[in-house]
Each structure stands twice: as structure tokens, then as C-alpha cells.
Structure 1
Amino acid sequence: MALSIGPLSIGIDIGTSGARAVAMRPDFSIAARSAVPLDRFGQNARDPSVWWSAVGAALTELLSGID
């Protein structure tokens, strides 16, 4: 049996310090949030592949935290 969580909107922000993600329900309540610092990957923060890795990690963390 699959768990149904209903529709969610996901927002992603990439800044100089890291990637952040939030999942919101239709009533604007927060279902989950996550933040992953860019230095976690030990590489240059100007490298787009580091941004991509941080976004992937933030989304993985976000999805595992949805209540």
C-alpha cells in the first residue's frame, strides 16, 4: 500500500553558502525543509557541478523528511 501525501510544491534556492529546499502543501504549511552547505562537497563553490550535487543532496534530504 502506497502512502499518499497529496500535492506538494517544491522550492529550491541556491546561494553562495549552499542549496536549500522546501516542500509546501496547498494550504502553505511546510511539509519539509532541508539545507546542504556547498563546502560539504569539498570543492570550489563556483563549480556548477558542486551546485548540482548540493541540489541533489538537498532534494534527497527533503523527500526523506516529508511528514
Structure 2
Amino acid sequence: MAITYVVLARADFNNDGFEDIFLRLDWNITTAFGKGFDWIIVSKASANQLPTIVSRAENNVRLPEQAR
């Protein structure tokens, strides 16, 4: 599988005081047929915390909460 990413925007989308990153992940299965994209927002809750995915949409369709 090959994955590339594009930074679409950097801003404080959730108003927590930390800059978030809005990404598009393009993926392609190199050994078979299949490709797609995901849109994600990566954020941190504090300066000492690792970044986490706070929002994800797959192929421009919002995923249910339990699928995350």
C-alpha cells in the first residue's frame, strides 16, 4: 500500500489554543486494485500530549462515531 499526504490547512479548528492540521491522505493498493482518500484533522489537547485524530472522513463521507 502506498500512502501520500497533502497538508490542506493549518489553523485552530477546535478553538483549544493549539494549531491543528487538516490533511488529505491518498492511498493506493500497489499489489491489487483499490485506491481512495481520507480527510483527517490532527490536533493536540496540550503541549505535552501526542497528536490525535479528532475528525475523519473517508472518501468524503462522514464515518459513524463507533467506526473511528
What TM-score do the two structures reach when normalised by structure 2? 0.37
Larger RCO (CA under 8 A, 6+ residues apart): 1
Bigger strand fraction: 2
Bigger helix fraction: 1
